[in-house]
């Protein structure tokens, strides 16, 4: 029962936060490369800032499986993106964006978890298909720092839907 209350609290808080102005949401899918290819599923909250800037907070789940002959083992990454996007509208329907931010990433590996963190840069396009909905295509490059190899390059390419409620 506690879990239901927590989920309801988070959802109500999110939608209350979104009612203040043109806060939008993104549901996305794509691929992430971090030592291997992962399938990426993500959810973002985008909050407009002054001018043509916005705060983009995204949580992703990256999943891949590996068959070792005896069993199938899943591998996960859970990156969280905190980005500032700079928007460049091109006409009424197309918007080009570039952004930068920081990406903390959790990598559960068997009995232990590895925490990686580092800067990222991204670019993308949004194409408006409805007054309250856009299609988006984004590519993000992150340089993650943490054990055991201390330097990881992560590339994410996503396709998604940006919408207002």
- Does residue 2 lie within any of the structural domains? no
Given its phi and psi angles, is residue 150 left (phi above 0), alpha (psi -120 to 50 degrees) or beta? left
Could you give the 3-state DSSP secondary structure of residue 132?
coil
Tally of CA atoms within 13 A in the half-sphere of 67 that contains its CB? 1
Beta bridge pairs of residue 6:
none
Boundaries of domain holding 36: 23-164
- Residue 112 CB contacts under 8 Å (≥ 6 apart), including other chains: none
Report DSSP state, residue 86: E
pLDDT at 46: 96
67-92 residue pLDDT tens: 888 899 889 999 999 999 999 999 99
Output the pTM of the full model.
Answer: 0.84
Residues in the chain, pLDDT under 50: 17-18
Does any domain span residue 11?
no
Q: Whole-angstrom Cα distance, residue 111 to residue 128?
A: 45
DSSP-assigned states of every residue in 1-70: -HHHHHHHHHHHHHHHHHTTTT-EEEEEEEEEESSSEEEEEEEEEEEE-SSSEEEEEEEEEEEEEEE-SS
> 3-class DSSP state for residue 98?
strand
141 domain residue, yes or no: yes
Domains: count for the chain? 1
In a domain, 88, yes or no: yes
Q: What is the pLDDT of residues 26-38, one digit of tens each?
A: 999 999 998 899 9
Distance CA 118, CA 101 (A): 9
Q: Is residue 18 in a domain?
A: no
Give the per-residue pLDDT at 35.
86
Res 21: pLDDT: 66
Between the CA atoms of 49, 53, 55 and 58, what dihedral angle is there, to the nearest 10 degrees?
Answer: 150
Pairwise CA distance, residues 1 & 27, whole Å: 27
Q: Give the CATH number, domain containing residue 93.
A: 2.40.160.20
């Amino acid at each position: 029962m506690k879990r239901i209350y927590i989920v309801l609290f988070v959802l109500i808080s999110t939608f209350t936060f979104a009612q203040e102005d043109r806060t939008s949401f993104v549901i996305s899918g794509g691929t992430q490369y971090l030592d291997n290819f992962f399938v990426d599923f993500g959810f973002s909250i985008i909050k407009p800032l002054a001018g043509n800037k916005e705060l983009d907070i995204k949580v992703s789940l990256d999943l891949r499986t590996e068959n070792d002959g005896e069993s199938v083992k899943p591998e996960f990454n859970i990156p969280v993106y905190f980005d500032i996007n700079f928007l460049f509208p091109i006409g009424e329907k197309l918007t080009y964006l570039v952004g930068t931010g920081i990406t903390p990433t959790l990598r559960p590996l068997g009995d232990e978890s590895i925490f990686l963190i580092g800067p990222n840069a991204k670019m993308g396009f949004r194409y408006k298909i409805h007054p309250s909905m856009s299609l988006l295509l984004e590519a993000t490059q992150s340089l993650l720092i943490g054990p055991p190899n201390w330097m990881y390059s992560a590339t994410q390419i996503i396709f998604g839907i940006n919408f207002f409620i």
